[in-house]
Amino acid sequence: MDIDLNEPTRPHLAALLGCSSRWIGELRSKGDLPADGASWAENLEAYVNIKIGRHDPDSLDLESERARLAKEQADGKAMDNAERRKELASRTDMIAAGAGVIIMAVSRLQQIGAQVAQGDTKLRKRIETAINDVLTDLSMTRIEEAVGGGLDDEEAPEDEGD
């Protein structure tokens, strides 16, 4: 068999490397071996890199991992500095502030019935019922359902027609 070392074909590479032509095709489709038209030297270099593990696509690239780690550390430090300068609040602080505003709003809304009705118990009851209905619709449970989450992500919402 005459093998053109300038541009060996897939069957020629398989014969030279002692493997199947199909395996060569799979390596080429994954980009592990050069495409048709590459020289024997290019194919051999790629094959050796695969065999000695320097070209494992699942292995970590040390240089890029170091760069990623340095970026993560710099981002973390920047966030810490922004929080110290009061430019950034933590999630727990924001949740507490939001909860405080909600508690204050609920308290004020629940006082409306007594203020507006001025002794009319039937009117007061209707106002309080209407406000409680609105507050129920605005409850955290409804918000979590709207965004597709909830306290138990594993349970599906029972009533999706709201």
Q: What is the pLDDT of residues 9-53, one digit of tens each?
A: 888 888 888 888 898 888 888 888 888 888 888 888 888 888 776
Q: What is the pLDDT of residues 57-72, one digit of tens each?
A: 555 567 777 888 899 9
Q: What is the pTM of this model?
A: 0.39
Instruction: Report the SS3 class of residue 106.
Output: helix
Phi, psi for 66 (deg, rounded to 5):
-65, -40
Q: Domain ranges in the chain? A: 10-52, 61-89, 90-150
Q: Would you tell me how many other CB atoms lie within 10 Å of the CB of residue 124?
A: 17
Q: What is the pLDDT of residues 75-126, one digit of tens each?
A: 999 988 988 898 888 888 888 898 899 889 989 998 998 889 888 999 999 9
Residues 6+ apart with CB under 8 A from 104: none
User: Cα 8 to the chain's mean position, in Å?
Assistant: 44
**Given this model, what pLDDT does residue 19 score?**
86
Token pair recorded at residue 126: 């209707």
